[in-house]
Amino acid sequence: MINGELLPIIRPSDDAGLVYVGGIEEDGMILEGSVNSPATGETYKIKNGYLDLLKARTGAHNVANLTNFLPGAGRAYEPLWRVRSLSLLTGEHFPIERELEIITGLVRPVSGGRYLDLGCSAGLYTRSLATEPVDAVGIDISPSMLKEAARRARDIGAKPSFIRASAMKLPFAGATFTGAVCGGSLNEFADPSLVLRETRRVLERGGRLAIMGILRTGTPRGRRLQRLLSTGGVRFLDPDELRSLLDHAGFEPDPLQRYGPIFFAGATRRA
Ligand SMILES: C[S@@+](CC[C@H](N)C(=O)[O-])C[C@H]1O[C@@H](n2cnc3c(N)ncnc32)[C@H](O)[C@@H]1O
């Protein structure tokens, strides 16, 4: 589903926004149907709960990206991994509620604002944002994840928008978001520095960014595991690299919050 008010700012290529062609609409949300780019003549479908801007392209750059396309990946992701991921990785009791409280505290949602979830998977952060009086938008490249994200949002009566698009080429006009969040995806993006530069472009001046991710570990066992995961395309940053990436992309980073190998980074878009 997609909020019809977003259409004028959605730019699949560097052209003007999209227009609604037809389908099923409810309270300003397009549940199913088609939209069109008057600039290119291209039509895009809204189906299975999301607007698909990638069509036949996968948007994937590595094996890690492709694992999110496996049948059942979306359904299994939150119950099998996500709800316990931070407890397993930090070795302390780290429920989802605590994580969401930290992310919300870092992004500081402003009533009436528009917020972007980068690499939203099954939509954990998008749903959390959608409980605030804001417009929440989740993007991901995986159809399986987006379908599940839309299903989970529907189940709680939340109305975020979901778009299949790459975070490395955000399909939005500049300075159109109040803030952005990113849970674990920075480790999976093929070019995290490009994603951060794109995020800066779409954020308004002073816009906030909140990221949760996994740092490069120092333990021999952790290093072996991270080396193995790196062969599939997952990358692990150290705190200095992360600060430098944020700085070069045009963000003023807050002090990093660390819980074992997990970090929470807040940052403000510089003018
Ligand atoms: C670690 S998961 C994200 C978890 C999710 N943010 C959460 O908090 O539950 C990484 C996600 O990033 C997505 N992804 C990878 N590369 C992407 C890209 N270039 N653009 C958008 N999404 C991408 C994957 O499909 C996957 O769903």
pTM of the model: 0.96
Hey, what are 25's tokens? 């609409």
Where do the structural domains in the chain lie, given as residue ranges? 57-269
* Mean of pLDDT over the chain: 95
Q: Please name which of 103, 148, 154, 84 lies closest in space to residue 121, comparing C-alpha atoms.
A: 148
Q: Is the CB of 198 under 6 A from ligand 1?
A: no
Residue 102 has pLDDT above 90, yes or no: yes
Could you identify the atom of ligand 1 that is nearest to the CA of residue 182?
A: 6
DSSP 179-216: EEEEESGGGT-S-HHHHHHHHHHHEEEEEEEEEEEEBP
Mutation to probe ligand 1, out of 188, 189, 191 (largest number of atoms < 8 A from CB): 188
Q: Is the CB of 149 under 6 A from ligand 1?
A: no
Find the 201 Cα to ligand 1 centroid distance in Å: 19
Find the 141 Cα to ligand 1 centroid distance in Å: 7
Q: Please name which of 242, 270, 256, 260 lies closest in space to residue 102, comparing C-alpha atoms.
A: 256
- Kindly report the protein residue whose alpha carbon is nearest to atom 2 of ligand 1: 185
Residue 67 has pLDDT above 90, yes or no: no
Residue 214 has pLDDT above 80, yes or no: yes
- Kindly report the protein residue whose alpha carbon is nearest to atom 12 of ligand 1: 119
Report the pLDDT value the prediction gives residue 221, as an integer from 0 to 100.
Answer: 86
Please measure the distance between the N-terminal and C-terminal CA atoms of the chain and give it in whole angstroms: 33
Q: What is d(CA 135, CA 213) in angstroms, rounded to the nearest whole number?
A: 24
> What type of residue is 62?
N
Mean pLDDT of 208-218: 95
CA distances from 192 to 3, 44, 235 (A): 28, 27, 9
Class of domain 57-269: alpha beta
Mutation to probe ligand 1, out of 147, 168, 185 (largest number of atoms < 8 A from CB): 185
3-state secondary structure of 115: strand
Report the pLDDT value the prediction gives residue 96, as an integer from 0 to 100.
Answer: 96
Q: What is d(CA 81, CA 2) in angstroms, rounded to the nearest whole number?
A: 27
Instruction: Report pLDDT digits (tens) over 152-176.
Output: 999 999 999 999 999 999 999 999 9
